Amino acid sequence: MGPWGGLPSGNSEAMGNMLALTPALRRGPRREEPLSNPGSFDELHRKCKEVFPQQMEGVKLIINKALSSHFQVSHTIHMSTVGPSNYHLNATYVGEQQLSPTEAFPMLIGDIDNGGSLNAQVLHLLAERIRAKAVFQTQQARFVTWQFDTEYRGDDHTATLTLGNPDLISESVIVVAHFLQSVTSRLVLGGEMVYHRRPGEEGAIVTLAGKYTALKWVATLNLGYGGAHASYYHRANDQIQVGVEFEANTRLQDTSFAFGFLDSNWCVGGVLEKKLPPLPVTLALGAFLNHWKNRFHCGFSVIVG
């Protein structure tokens, strides 16, 4: 017994050590965050590009009309001051196979203008992880593009194979392969290979890609024989977002840089959008000034629906 009728002093020290170790014994090994799907290769720089203002010119009227829960049409009238005015009819059909709140299959999209040029896309979910897309584009009565994509989305990786403008008669084709892998919960690595073949010419270009996503910023880099493409996106708060983009093309010997509303061509632009609730109307006003070419143009659009 101890001097105060308690446990012996040696046992008290042992009990204290056991109590000190109890929390450490209860805490298990730290669980690593599960890796998520990295998305598509074409969307690596999307966060940054969404910050930059879209070019506007002339007056544009867009009327959207939902005919049912699966079918929607839109009419677009564009009156331009630098080019010919045009009219576009767009129709979209969305199937009942709901994969996420923003994705449903199959999906058929068609757009035709007053000159008879057509741009059509068909997207379908072949299996739980396999998606297919077909793109057709005509210039009046002549086919200019036909493209077929197949994409596999795993738990932590995405693989895509694209076949563009295959022509068995002239033996020409473009094949593009993409692969992205989530290395950690924040880091994505991958690559792209583009192979083209036509009479008298054949070649391939390989590009490596990386993307790091932090809590408030995203940095992306594509680097290959054809050039480099880097972007940085930063979200300061709900109202302020900043984007920086750099592109260099070794084949065209061209380099461009953009920071927010200013690019390396000394073009400054901005777009202001205003919704008018309870009316289903959105007004947009854009202005762009090119200091290098001393050229200014502005645009105004009305979106109904």
DSSP string, 283-295: EEEEEEEETTTTE
What three-state secondary structure class fits 75? strand
Q: What are 113's strand-pairing partners?
A: 88
Q: What are 41's strand-pairing partners?
A: none
User: Cα(first)–Cα(last) distance of the chain, in Å?
Assistant: 86
Pairwise CA distance, residues 35 & 16, whole Å: 41
Pairwise CA distance, residues 227 & 253, whole Å: 9
Q: What is the pLDDT of residue 10?
A: 46
The pTM of the full predicted model, rounded to 2 decimals, is 0.82
CB 257 within 8 A of CB 283: no
Pairwise CA distance, residues 12 & 21, whole Å: 14
Residue 216: name the closest of 204, 232, 231, 230 by CA.
232
Task: Average the pLDDT over 186-194 and give the result.
Answer: 97
pLDDT value at 2 more than 70 = no
What three-state secondary structure class fits 177? strand
Task: Average the pLDDT over 181-206 and give the result.
Answer: 95
Q: What does the pLDDT look like over 17-37, one tens digit per residue?
A: 433 444 444 555 455 678 999
Q: What does the pLDDT look like over 109-134, one tens digit per residue?
A: 999 999 999 999 999 999 999 999 99
Peptide bond into 278 cis (omega under 30): yes
Q: What does the pLDDT look like over 135-149, one tens digit per residue?
A: 999 998 899 999 999
Q: In Å, how far are 60, 172, 305 from 112, measured between CA atoms?
A: 16, 27, 20
Q: In Å, how far are 173, 193, 200, 292 from 204, measured between CA atoms?
A: 12, 7, 14, 36
What three-state secondary structure class fits 13? helix
Residue labelled with tokens 């998520």 = 36
